[in-house]
Copies of this chain bind each other. A is one copy, B any other.
Amino acid sequence: MTRETLARVTRAMDEMGYHPNSQARGLRSKRTGTIGFLTIDPSVRFLADPFHSATVSGMADVLREHGSYLLVDALQPDAPERSFAPLFYERRIDGAVVHLSGPPAERGAWIRELAATGSPFVILEERVDAPTGAAVRADNRRGACRAVDYLIEQGYTEIAFLTDATPWPASEARLAGYRDALEAHELPFRPERALTASWNPMQGHRELETLLTREPSVSAVLCGNDLFAVSAIRAARALGRRTPEDFAVIGFDDFDFAALVEPPLTTVALPAYEMGRRAAELLLAYLEHGEFPEKEVLFPTSLTLRGSA
């Protein structure tokens, strides 16, 4: 077909309002042209987590540039009969970016189920060993370790840790990094100082208030996200402590508001939007070439120094 004929056909398609039917096309070609973002999140408002909304936005941008589409789904952990597999088996998506929560053994079971579909998937924030699986992670462990290092250098030695009660792999890595740093400085790890709270930040507030009342020598906290960081500052203030003078706080994620609150948050930033982009790119590459260009991508985190520590 010559260039000119092509132009005429294209014009005719426009004039007649022809649009290829994606279902007929997919039925034949065994492709859907859509990628899923799948998560297991106990919160009904699963996208309220800025990590999720940034990741999904990054995916959406890559997919749009490519002419593909994005399907979003979240499972509640307490609905055990449900599964992601039907999305693949029913041919609704060609691949997926997956962010799993739950105990490690359960996450492993989910990953095995995904692997069994034979379709490509990218796991966020967690290693994966499966022929059709790849991983996109941020170096949460190192990020947390450097944050605690920094606190120790500033003279804070009694440091707590407060994170989301939902068992996200990133939280586990951050806890590990916190322990790494304590160990490197020969400080004891005290389990009772590793706090956990539901996403509802008021609960984090209470947890920390309780700890500080019981153990007033605790002088700093590393939080698993910036929302907890502001609630920590608030809890300390309620006890008459000022941040950072009497109580230092470091957050995680660098949420939009982090630079705006008083004091502005010192926080560990990670490139969530970029991670979403990369995950989508990996998937598209797999769909085109039958293999992942990289099986594991590790993004660095960075400690952003502001006023809270």
Chain B hits for A69, CB < 8 A: 71, 73, 87, 92
Write the A44-59 contact mask toward B (1 if CB under 8 angstroms, else 0).
1111101011101100
In the complex, what distance in Å separates the CA atom of A74 from the CA atom of B61? 8
Task: Give every chain B residue within 8 A of A166 (Cβ-Cβ).
Answer: none
Question: Which of chain B's residues has its CB closest to A75's CB?
Answer: B64
CB A69 to nearest CB in B, in angstroms, measures: 6
Taken together as a complex, chains A and B put the C-alpha atoms of A297 and B44 apart, in Å, by 22
Taking a contact as CB atoms under 8 Å apart, the answer to whether A260 and B70 are in contact is: no
Q: Are A23 and B32 in contact (CB under 8 A)?
A: yes
Q: Is A230 an interface residue (CB 8 A)?
A: yes
Q: Is the CB of B260 within 8 A of A234?
A: yes
The residue that A90 contacts in the complex, of B20, B72, B74, B205, with Cβ under 8 A, is B20
Check A92/B22 contact, CB under 8 A, given A44-B57, A47-B54, A57-B44.
Answer: yes
20 contacts between A and B (CB under 8 A): A17-B89, A19-B86, A19-B89, A21-B27, A22-B91, A22-B92, A27-B27, A34-B92, A44-B57, A45-B54, A45-B273, A47-B56, A47-B57, A69-B71, A71-B71, A72-B72, A201-B257, A201-B260, A257-B257, A261-B261
The residue in chain B whose Cβ has the minimal distance to the Cβ of A90 is: B22
Q: Complex: how many Å from CA A64 to CA B72?
A: 10
With contacts A48-B53, A205-B260, A262-B262 known, what are 6 further pairs, Cβ within 8 A?
A19-B86, A23-B23, A27-B27, A69-B73, A227-B256, A230-B261
Q: A231 to chain B: which residues have CB within 8 Å?
A: 260
Decide: B73 and A64 in contact? CB cutoff 8 A.
yes
A24 part of interface (Cβ distance < 8 Å)? yes
- The answer to whether A237 has its CB under 8 Å from any CB of chain B is yes
CA distance A151 to B68 in the complex (A): 48
Interface residues in A204-237 by Cβ distance below 8 A to B read: 205, 227, 230-231, 233-234, 237
Given the known inter-chain contacts A56-B72, A230-B260, please indicate yes or no for A48 contacting B45, CB distance below 8 A: no
Contact B89 A61 (CB under 8 A): no
The residues of B that contact A27 with a CB separation of less than 8 Å are 21, 23-24, 27
| Residues on B with beta carbons closer than 8 Å to the beta carbon of A61 | 44
- CB A54 to nearest CB in B, in angstroms, measures 6
Q: Which residues, 246 to 266 on A, are CB-close (under 8 Å) to B? A: 255-257, 259-262
Contact at A21–B262, with CB atoms within 8 Å?
no
A60 sits at the interface (CB 8 A): yes
Q: Whole-angstrom distance between the alpha carbons of A12 and B34 in the complex?
A: 30
A26 within 8 A of partner (CB) = yes
What's the minimum C-beta distance from A36 to chain B, rounded to whole angstroms?
A: 9
The listed residue (B21, B48, B227) touching A54 by CB distance below 8 A is B48
